[in-house]
Amino acid sequence: MAECVAVLTGAGISAESGIPTFRGQSDAGALWRNYSPEQLATPEAFERDPRLVWEWYDWRRGCVARAEPNAGHRALAEFERRCAATGRRFTLITQNVDGLHDRAGSRQVVKLHGDLWILRCLSCGREERDERVPLDPLPPRCDCGGLQRPAVVWFGESLPAREWACASEVSATARMFLVIGTSGVVYPAAGLVEIARQSGARIAVVNPEPTPLDARADWLFRGAASEVLARLL
Ligand code: BJW
Ligand code: ZN
């Protein structure tokens, strides 16, 4: 079977594109209007105040629309091309919803937490891609009149079944598992590292800060994703 390389990315890989992380070094950096992600990224918050939650997403969509993929995203796309050229299987598992891996040219991208640019109707379930920035009106509505939500995964919600199955399978078969720019505190995504390790993968962690996943690492690269990945390439 082809040698398999898997990568798990988090918000840190997009930090150098100017997109705020969820749990910044200083708490203030991760807050939006004094709300933490744990207060906004929940179905309960959306039920309580859909407009408030949508204002947060609309602001983030604006940040992402103005951003460009950085050298870290591009290095992973190049890594994928090199794996393809040498007969290795490469899968990029991301917790990010910003779409910057796609824009950098990555092909095999498994989006565990959904997509910021897709809206899902709460009444008829229809999903549509909508790249307008800003969205008007807020909250947006489907053609059927139903309230739309961002097609992302909030706390307490299950991850999309197909993506989760693919990510677990890839993690269990990887020889090499790279963990880049994630605080490693959100499950089940963080648990993929343990799945990979128990299946015999060598683990490399890339992060300027310590994380709970460091204890599982065979190699620890303390630094920004763009610099470390450029060196690794
Ligand atoms: C750089 C850098 C640079 C900076 N270069 N690096 C087991 C134990 C405890 C709790 C649970 C558990 N299992 C499940 C749970 C509950 C919960 C959970 O994990 N809670 C914990 C937080 C306590 N999980 C869930 O609810 C999940 N669902 C689930 O389990 O379903 C089953 C179930 C159903 C019903 C009941 C119970 C269970 C769903 C989780 C969904 C997470 N959703 C979000 C929002 C997505 C949409 C959106 O974007 O708005 O996903 S929350 C947010 O956190 C987002 C991220 O993908 C996710 C992870 O964050 P990430 O990417 O790691 O970012 P940061 O900011 O935390 O870290 C950035 C890192 O980058 C830092 O380390 C920096 O140092 C680093 N960095 N610059 C490299 N230049
Ligand atoms: Zn609808």
pLDDT per residue as tens, the chain (233 positions): 669 999 999 999 999 999 999 997 655 557 788 899 999 999 999 999 999 999 999 999 999 999 999 999 999 999 999 999 999 999 999 999 999 999 999 999 999 999 999 999 999 999 999 999 999 999 999 999 999 999 999 999 999 999 999 999 999 999 999 999 999 999 999 999 999 999 999 999 999 999 999 999 999 999 999 999 999 98
Prediction pTM value: 0.97
**Protein residue with its CA nearest to atom 10 in ligand 1:** 187
* C-alpha torsion 191→194→195→196, nearest 10: 120
The Cα 183–Cα 22 span in angstroms is: 9
Q: Across-strand partners of 112? A: none
Establish whether residue 153 lines the binding site of ligand 1, counting it when its CB lies within 6 angstroms of any ligand atom.
yes
CA of residue 16 relative to chain centroid, distance:
14
- Short-list 167, 169, 178, CA closest to 9: 178
Establish whether residue 181 lines the binding site of ligand 1, counting it when its CB lies within 6 angstroms of any ligand atom.
yes
Phi, then psi, of 150 in degrees rounded to 5: -70, 140
